[in-house]
Amino acid sequence: MESQLPECHEGPEAFSRFDQGIRQVLSVPRSTLERRERAYRKKVDANPKRRGPKRKVKPSASPDPAA
């Protein structure tokens, strides 16, 4: 069975679709993107079977008890 190719749009319609998509992506605030990235990183780092180098864990902000 042959797979169907996606529709190809040309001309002004293609530009308007592209422009609309880009405006939608750029309308998301940077803080939201950073929050989503932190949540994703936390989820990925929690996977014990993760391949590749592991990310270094930052020390906690609590004061040093030895000092």
Mean pLDDT of 50-67: 68
Listed residue (47, 45, 65) closest to 55, CA to CA: 45
Q: Per the confidence metrics, is the pTM higher than 0.85?
A: no
| In the chain, where the domains are located | 17-44
Confidence at 30, pLDDT banded by 50, 70, 90: very high
44 versus 5: which is more confidently predicted? 44
Residue 43, CB-side half-sphere exposure with 13 Å CA sphere: 6
| Tokens coding 50 | 């993760």
Question: Average per-residue pLDDT in the chain?
Answer: 82
Mean pLDDT of 28-33: 92
Q: How far apart are CA 29 and CA 34, in angstroms?
A: 9
